[in-house]
Amino acid sequence: MTLGQRIAQKRKELGLSQEGLGEQLGVSRQAIYKWESDASLPEIEKLIALSRLFSVTVGWLLGVEEESRPAEELTPRQLAMVREITEGYLSACPTGLSPKGKKRLTAALLIGGACLAGVVLVLAIQLSQITHKYDLLQQLVSSVNQNVQEQISSITQQVEDTLAQSYSLVESSTQTFVSMDPGAGTALFQVQVVPKHYTQGTTALFLAQGDGKTLETPGQLDADYNFSAQVVAPLSNEITFSVVFLIGEERIVQPLGDFQDLYDQSFPPLSVGTSSPLAFRDGLLPSDGNHVISFRLQDSSLPGTAQRGYPDFRQWDLNAKMGLFQDDKPICWYEPKAGTDHEFRIPQDITLEPEHTYYEAALLTDPYGRQRLYPGKIYHYDSKSECWKSESVYPPSTGLAYPVVTKSGT
């Protein structure tokens, strides 16, 4: 058994859950899970605590102290080897031995051979135990080395943060999202910087960077010697802010922070669903009207309201078309289903080919002319089960658009 298996065995004997054992040791349930699955090793003090709790030795937990076991009898193969050695020895003996003497010698050799085989068996067991101890020692050394590396990395980061704070000219800063203009590809932020020390004549310039673009906005100095401005930034998934202090001829740049995922949030969160998954159609999409695919706006995933600066997607005319894609290329556009909103049907029978992957998706064109693809599930042929299977392209609960932009007219 491994160390993790021994911990799990004793925990279950005491009727403890992983969470209950963690509470007694002052660690999380996840730590107990990692110990029992041999993904990590307990620290020395935790090993000692475990041995006390389980009423066993640390050596037993590590597998270096085995329970006493009865002497093992020789197998028929081992007995045959001993007999062969004995007979070979007797054939080489002088012919002067009497039959009775030969019998005695045979018995003695058999006993000696059995003892020798027993010694070999014991040595093999001991060698196995030594190998197990060596493996455990390697695991402990690896665990200690990992812990040391993590501590060094943490200390290094702390030192870097301390040095950066020591040499920074900024006491504090804030970047607050105000609004976005998807048509212009920009976003508006309220940015404020509190300098540690103000020198007469100092001016500030705010920089906003994203998607390879940099936009500059002069900062305004208030009565408390703080700089602020409404900063225009590129509408991007990663916007980085910094301030440039101009002190005479000196130009000092100070990073302020960043803002994530704003471009994704400028698109409505749509989900794509179907009435009959391809996995149950044996790779055939019939045009009998039973296979219907649709898209809808996920209200629960809306990033915000128009009052908070985000577009009001509920007021948008969701102009999208639905189609089937083979290896990320559209091969068929579906027809709108009569009398329904945002539902589509297949115009003709389609047979899927096992060597390709497929997905049905909605291609949205927003009011600003931007396009984005929202796939449903990916379908592929499983040669082992000889049927079509499906998997989600993205977690359905998020409703985030799949980051693929398709050119108009495809």
Query: pLDDT, tens digit, for every residue of 194-250?
Result: 999 888 999 999 999 999 999 999 999 999 999 999 999 999 999 999 999 998 888
Distance from the first to the final alpha carbon of the chain:
60
**239, 329 Cβ separation under 8 angstroms:** no
Q: Which CATH architecture has domain 267-392?
A: Sandwich (2.60)
Query: What is the pTM for the complete model shown?
Result: 0.56
CATH match of 3-62 with 3.20.20.140: no
132, 209, 151: which is closest to 175 by C-alpha? 209
- CATH number, domain 170-262, options 3.20.20.70, 2.60.40.10, 3.50.50.60, 3.30.70.270: 2.60.40.10
3-state DSSP helix/strand/coil % of the chain, to nearest 5: 35, 30, 35
| CA atoms within 13 A of residue 2's CA, in its CB half-sphere | 14
Q: What is the phi/psi pair of residue 174, to 5°?
A: -135, 145
Span of 225-229, 280-284, 354-358, 382-386 with lowest mean pLDDT? 280-284
Same fold flag, 3-62 and 267-392: no
Whether residue 91 has pLDDT greater than 80: no
One-letter identity of residue 237 = N
Rounded mean pLDDT of the chain? 79
In this structure, what token pair is assigned to residue 308? 């908070």
- Predicted pLDDT of residue 148: 72
Residue 404 has pLDDT above 60, yes or no: no
* Domain boundary assignment for the chain: 3-62, 76-164, 170-262, 267-392
> What does the pLDDT average to over 86-96?
56
pLDDT tens per residue, range 305-355 = 666 888 888 888 888 899 999 988 899 999 998 888 889 998 988 888 999
